[in-house]
Chain A
Amino acid sequence: MKILVCISHVPDTTSKINFTDGDTQFDTNGVQFVINPNDEFGLTRAMWFKEKQGASVDVVNVGGPETEPTLRKALAIGADSAIRVNTPATDGYQVAKELAKVVQDGGYDLVIAGRESIDYNGGMVPGMLAGLTGANFVNTCISLEVDGNTATTIREIDGGKEIATTSLPLVIGGQKGLVEESDLRIPNMRGIMMARKKPLNVVEPTGAAAETKAISFEKPAPKGAVKLVDNVDELIDLLHNEAKAI
């Protein structure tokens, strides 16, 4: 089984979010970048497929050279090789189009992406990629087993779970549940050394055009101070009469 894991290069969850150039660009100053958390769960699940079922695992990112440390980290965690599509990511559609080319050229059976990236939260790359490549698609996937050509998936739905069967080629939008938090791997020294020798192939983009454009950013208005109350009657009164929430 040939697996491709899509890796989004995102600001660490604790990052301060600021904008520059008249609020048109994300300010990367002092920001630490990491593997998108949803993708990291998927990458770890892919490692299990590699170890238990002999799958090969490649990772891919659509982005400039600055994303390479994030791809190297994925290699240090255990991926076999990395691909960087050499173009800035501009919107979900453009990224999905570029990824579709990588998927078709590489003949991947299974593509594991994250349900959304935590920077732009588009939540569209996995579905669009499936649509573009004609693969089956399961979103918000919290469990995935593959046996031959058949896959069994569990999807998180509103208020519960849905178990489904499908077949390869398959794209999933993954998240926590594919593996648990405690299963995530921190690269060790040996992994980091090996990662330096693993191939990181830079491929040129097809030049797909975006369909959306972030014109400007703004931050939420600052919040007023909390109202501290010291008894529950007062709280109920405020929730009922002031907030009209109960």
Chain B
Amino acid sequence: MSVLVYTESENGTYKKTALEVASYAKGIADMMGTTATAVAINGGDTISLGAHGIDKVLNITNDALGDFNASAFAKAIAQAAKAEGAKVIVLSQSANAKYIAPLLAIELEAGYASNVVGLPESTSPFVVKRTAFTNKAFSNTEITTDVKIVGLGKNAFGLNETSGAAATEDFAVDLGDTSGVKVQSIDKATDKVAIADAEIVVSAGRGLKGPENWEMIEEMADILGAATACSKPVSDLGWRPHGEHVGQTGKPVAANLYIAIGISGAIQHLAGINSSKTKVVINNDPEAPFFKAADYGIVGDAFEIVPKLNEKLKAFKAANS
């Protein structure tokens, strides 16, 4: 009857989003008077999970799950959920978790609510608040099935450290044929922060005039340990790779800090980045709509301001680290 949470790991380490969903699962477990169990697939040391509210970890070690395989992962998590008799299953909203969740929902005949922004308003009936209309509204959604799946938006809950330790059990799964979709290769820059993982995102738009002017953007990202992003036309023009396109039709951004440089703030752009906590805009047009959506702004020429800002940020970082 515990709340089950899928804690994703990369190279044996649990990412911040995994610890966030662990904390959240513990929150739901408290509401329901039960405990939180994590399911880890080829995961690592479980100390960090115990320190975020997890009582028990079901550790699945299986070579067939070496490469990511959404349907096999869904099967494995479903078997863990059944073994635990879990009525609530929590996942993050990483690309892989979003890929797994609907398959898991079918495996478990469970209703699924994605992009959830906090603890349930009540657990019986089970009602969660989720974003809809690409961040332009919230929907209070009831999951009416016996088993429920909740996809928690990034940075929607935060981390809750506890003094607990998790008991770890090996859990064997029976996957059957896993040959449906076979990964051939992965193309991932190892020296760059992914937008999905980033606490800070430095984003630039058509105001930068051309791809040759991105050096100062990359420099700022470097100084801040941030990911780089861009507006849609910038990727359509081929100035930046498509993977950097954020907004309604691109990637969502739920960072702690979003810095927009030379971006006008069109409604489709804002829709995708609105759930970021603090927004900064640098734009030479005081009428740019982004100023209505931002927390802090500088009206001015990016080509003057950004180099100055980079110098000062470097000094700030040197003094504060």
Contacts and interface: CB of A to CB of B under 8 A. Distances in A.
Contact of A166 (B182, B249, B256): B182
Contacts of B134: 118, 121
A81 interface: no
Given A156-B95, A212-B113, A226 B296 contact: yes
Contact of A227 (B139, B200, B297): B297
Contacts of A128: 102-103, 105-106
Contacts of A224: 295
A131 B101 CA distance: 11
A232 B138 contact: no
B242 to A, nearest CB: 6
Given A128-B106, A156-B95, A215-B127, A14 B296 contact: no
A160 B186 contact: yes
Given A118-B248, A159-B194, A17 B106 contact: no
A212 B145 CA distance: 8
B101 A124 contact: yes
Given A118-B133, A226-B281, A93 B111 contact: yes
A203 B96 CA distance: 35
A203 B64 CA distance: 42
Interface size classification for chain A: 35 or more
Interface size classification for chain B: 35 or more
Nearest to B109: A211
Task: Determine chain B's interface SS by DSSP, over half rule.
Answer: mixed
Contacts of B142: 212-213, 215
A132 B107 CA distance: 9
B145 A159 contact: no
A161 to B, nearest CB: 5
A49 B308 CA distance: 51
Interface string A198-226: 00000000000011111111111001101
A193 interface: no
B51 interface: no
A165 B251 CA distance: 24
Contact of B184 (A127, A159, A163, A246): A163
B247 to A, nearest CB: 9
Interface of A: 11, 13-14, 17, 19, 26, 37-38, 91-93, 96, 118-128, 130-132, 136-140, 142, 152-153, 155-167, 175-177, 180-182, 210-220, 223-224, 226-230, 232-233, 235-236, 238-240, 243, 245-246
Given A140-B98, A158-B94, A159-B194, 12 more contacts: A17-B133, A121-B132, A126-B102, A139-B98, A158-B95, A160-B194, A161-B187, A164-B182, A212-B142, A215-B127, A226-B295, A226-B297
